[in-house]
């Protein structure tokens, strides 16, 4: 399977990364041993290939580092963020494993653009796969440095020494020992990982891959964990923003006179943008209801009944994802031809925490506490909106209450920053549930058309797969079929003339749609097709029922057309098939 391109997840050119002064970091962090390293995500390599200048920056740059402090604590600084997926614990386990320190002694500083080096974002299930291995190497490098220091202090060969829970000792004389804390005390050592140090074998692991309580669990169950909406600053205001009733609606007339009578309310208007601010969030919300407004609504050409016929009309030509053999030759070998069209409706991300940000602007400097998957992207957006340098913007990412791809865009961050600049006070923008569903970048409506042929032995001989608007991720054929072709028409990003509102990545984008359709084919079958049985449904299924336990983020698929030249056995019950439709099947998208 091909590697994902950065453009699969980021629908814009990545801005040049700000130059990072290692000495400045060292001065801020104080003494200790610091190891700089690059995570080497192929997504970031794509960015480098597009621009020679950026490639040069990347080659000499780093995007994470870890510190062994004079107090013996180990800190990892990374632009990745924690949004419930658990990397605040799993990455700490990987670090602690290679460094031979207790998990409890590891701190993770995540998503702070002033303290953490540049990172493209947290999405696509990439953190463990691409950040984890270099983190292990950095920890192994730090361990090697500490062993050298210990050998000098203990006057013993380094290869004779062992480490346990942050203490270096002589196995022949365990009383001869020294802790990492003592070794780091008074030191100011910085190193970069240039050559891969030897890593532990998985068979030697005592922390990685072992059961461990989440390091953030206690804070979360006791309410001590801070999310963007929990941050409080003196004199802060809460904002409610006047929203249009439909995408594309324009403001005709607005009367704020009644809202102006609410004590303490402040009203900001910039063209069609109207915001109400108050020291109390409920008062801001109450003032919003007093506004009288008229909008010019757009002439919508599509609705929930016509969206799929519209998409079929505007679908772009397909690009070949992969091809083998000749479909026409496969058709000649077929005793039976099966065809099906599957429809996927729009799906919201519906995170538990809505998009939230608290911004403070002082002079030409801005600090924003944001619920975001892309802190450095948010920094660029704020800088552009305020007309200041990105170096003067700090994004701090507390715990994020779920994202699933939907918090890669930072509209609420920019809104809070603009209002903070206008009012001269800290401003919080926390979207309501209604705003969350309105402005969400939905998983796009999409459809898949499949034609397949079986020979007299009921073996698949051709597979013609076309996916529209879902993207090619996970669309590659994984059956043993001699003649097959896969084409992708459009991607999951909003394209002019296609969707009536924003679309984007949604939890394993592309894979969830493509795997699901392939999985239905497998589940409905039981016929021999090589690596996996393959047959498509012989009769239409009207709609997917809600499967028990499938959760609010389920995919709903509607199959609108399906025909075959020959009946293929009894149709399974709706209850059984709905489990596969809503729960997914085939290769996982993560």
Domains and CATH numbers, the chain: 6-221 (3.30.365.10), 229-296+350-439 (3.30.365.10), 307-347+442-583 (3.30.365)
pLDDT: which is higher, 539 or 390:
390
Average pLDDT of the residues in 233-249: 96
pLDDT over 70 percentage in the chain: 78
Coarse DSSP helix, strand, coil percentages of the chain, rounded to the nearest 5 percent: 30, 25, 45
- Going by pLDDT thresholds of 50, 70 and 90, the confidence category of residue 561 is very low
- 13-22, 293-302, 527-536: the lowest-pLDDT one: 527-536
Asked if the model's pLDDT at residue 212 lies above 90, the reply is: yes
Write down the pTM of the prediction.
0.82
Task: Please answer whether residues 356 and 412 qualify as being in contact, where contact means their C-beta atoms are separated by less than 8 angstroms.
Answer: yes
CB 67, CB 33: distance < 8 Å:
yes
pLDDT above 50 for 534: no
**pLDDT for position 242:** 98
Contact 371, 349 (CB under 8 A): no
Largest Cα–Cα distance of the chain, in whole Å? 85
- Please report the pLDDT score of residue 521 as a whole number: 67
Give the pLDDT confidence of 332-383 residue by residue, as tens digits. Answer: 999 988 888 899 999 999 999 999 999 999 999 999 999 999 999 999 999 9
Ranked by mean pLDDT, the top range of 250-259, 504-513, 543-552 is 250-259
pLDDT over 60 (residue 331): yes
DSSP annotation of 321 reads: E
**Between 418 and 525, residue with greater pLDDT:** 418
pLDDT band at 4 (very low <50, low <70, confident <90, very high): low
The phi, psi pair for 453, rounded to 5°, reads -130, 145
- Report the alpha-carbon distance of residue 10 to residue 23 in Å, rounded: 31
| End-to-end alpha carbon distance in the chain | 13
**297, 300, 304, 308 alpha-carbon torsion, rounded to 10°:** -160
Report the C-alpha gap between 243 and 264 in whole angstroms: 21
pLDDT given at position 44: 46
- Going from the C-alpha of 572 to that of each of 49, 533, 537, 538, 557, the distances in angstroms are 50, 16, 10, 10, 17
Q: Is the pLDDT of residue 75 over 50?
A: yes
Residue 588 has pLDDT above 80, yes or no: no
C-alpha dihedral sign at 91, 95, 100, 103: negative
DSSP letters along 136-201, please? HHHHHHHHHHHHHHHHHHHTS-GGG-EEETTEEEETTEEEEEEEHHHHHTT-EEEEE--SPPP---
Per-residue confidence band for 523, with pLDDT thresholds at 50, 70 and 90: low
pLDDT, one tens digit per residue, over 244-286 is 999 999 999 999 999 999 999 999 999 899 999 999 999 999 9
Which is more confident, 581 or 336? 336
Give the model's pLDDT for residue 63. 60
In terms of Cα–Cα distance, which of 448, 443, 445 is closest to 463? 448
- Strand, helix or coil at 307? helix
Q: Using the predicted structure, report yes or no on whether residue 572 has a pLDDT greater than 80.
A: no
Q: Where does the pLDDT of residue 18 fall: very low under 50, low under 70, confident under 90, or very high at 90 and above?
A: very low
Return the pLDDT at 260.
Answer: 97
**Overall average pLDDT of the 502-526 stretch:** 80
List pLDDT tens digits, range 135-160: 999 899 899 999 999 999 999 999 99
pLDDT 10s digits, 150-208:
999 999 999 999 999 999 999 999 999 999 999 999 888 877 767 778 999 999 999 99
Choose the most confident range, by mean pLDDT, from 38-52, 397-411, 575-589.
397-411
At residue 485, φ and ψ (nearest 5 deg) are: -145, 135
At 24 the pLDDT is 63
Structure confidence by residue, pLDDT tens digits, 473-499: 999 988 889 999 999 999 988 788 999
* pLDDT band at residue 556 using 50, 70 and 90 as cut-offs: very low
Report which secondary-structure segment, H or E, holds 454.
Answer: strand 446-454
**DSSP string computed for 370-409:** E--S-HHHHHHHHHHHHTS-GGGEEEE--B----TTTTSS
- pLDDT-derived band at 567 (thresholds 50, 70, 90) equals very low
Chain mean pLDDT for the chain? 83
Tell me the two tokens of residue 45.
């390599």
Q: How confident is the model at residue 8 (pLDDT cuts 50, 70, 90)?
A: low
């Amino acid at each position: 399977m091909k590697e994902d391109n950065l453009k699969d997840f980021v629908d814009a050119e990545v801005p040049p990364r700000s130059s990072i002064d290692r000495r400045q970091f060292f001065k801020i962090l104080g003494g200790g041993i610091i190891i700089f390293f690059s995570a080497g995500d192929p997504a970031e390599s794509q960015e480098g290939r597009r621009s020679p200048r950026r490639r040069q920056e990347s080659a000499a740059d780093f995007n994470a580092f870890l510190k062994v402090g004079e107090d013996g604590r180990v800190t990892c600084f990374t632009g990745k963020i924690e949004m419930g997926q658990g990397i605040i614990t799993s990455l700490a386990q990987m670090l602690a494993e290679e460094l031979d320190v207790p998990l409890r002694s590891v701190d993770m500083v995540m998503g702070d653009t002033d303290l953490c080096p540049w990172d493209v974002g947290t999405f696509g299930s990439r953190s463990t796969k691409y950040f984890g291995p270099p983190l292990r190497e950095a920890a192994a490098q730090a361990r090697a440095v500490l062993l050298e220091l210990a050998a000098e202090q203990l006057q013993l060969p380094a290869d004779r020494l062992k480490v346990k829970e942050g203490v270096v000792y002589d196995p022949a004389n365990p009383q001869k020992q020294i802790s990492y804390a003592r070794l780091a005390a008074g030191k100011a050592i910085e190193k970069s990982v240039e050559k891969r140090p030897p890593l532990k074998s998985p068979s030697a692991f005592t922390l990685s891959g072992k059961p461990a309580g989440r390091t953030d669990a206690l804070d979360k169950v006791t309410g001590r964990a801070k999310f963007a909406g929990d941050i409080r600053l003196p004199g802060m205001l809460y904002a409610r923003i006047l929203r249009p009733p439909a995408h594309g609606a324009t403001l005709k007339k607005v009367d704020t006179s009644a809202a102006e009578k609410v004590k303490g309310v402040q009203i900001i208007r910039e063209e069609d943008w109207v915001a109400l601010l108050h020291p109390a969030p409920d008062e801001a919300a109450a003032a919003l209801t007093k506004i009288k407004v008229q909008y010019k609504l757009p002439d919508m050409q599509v609705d929930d009944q016509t969206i799929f016929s519209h998409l079929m009309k505007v679908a772009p030509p397909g690009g070949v994802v992969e091809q083998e053999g000749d479909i026409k030759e496969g058709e000649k070998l077929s005793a039976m031809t099966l065809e099906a069209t599957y429809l996927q409706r729009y799906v919201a991300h519906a995170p538990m925490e809505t998009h939230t940000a608290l911004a403070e602007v002082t002079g030409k400097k801005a600090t924003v506490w944001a619920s975001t998957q892309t802190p450095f992207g948010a920094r660029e957006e704020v800088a552009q909106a305020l007309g200041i340098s990105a170096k003067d913007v700090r994004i701090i990412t507390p715990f994020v209450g779920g994202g699933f791809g939907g918090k890669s865009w930072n509209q609420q961050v920019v809104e809070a920053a603009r209002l903070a600049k206008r009012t001269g006070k800290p401003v919080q923008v926390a979207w309501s549930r209604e705003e969350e569903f309105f402005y969400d970048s939905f998983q796009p409506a999409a459809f898949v058309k499949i034609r397949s042929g079986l020979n007299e032995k009921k073996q698949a001989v051709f597979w013609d797969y076309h996916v529209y608007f879902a993207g090619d991720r996970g669309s590659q054929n994984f059956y043993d079929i001699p003649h097959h072709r896969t084409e992708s028409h459009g991607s999951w990003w909003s394209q002019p003339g296609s969707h009536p509102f924003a679309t984007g990545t949604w939890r394993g984008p592309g894979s969830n749609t493509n795997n699901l359709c392939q999985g239905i084919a497998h589940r409905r079958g039981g016929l021999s097709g090589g690596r996996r049985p393959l047959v498509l449904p012989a009769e239409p299924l009207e709609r997917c029922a809600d499967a028990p336990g499938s959760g609010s983020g389920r995919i709903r698929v509607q199959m609108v057309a399906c025909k075959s030249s020959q009946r293929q056995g009894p149709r399974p019950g709706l209850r059984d098939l709905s489990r596969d439709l809503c729960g997914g099947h085939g290769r996982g998208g993560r």
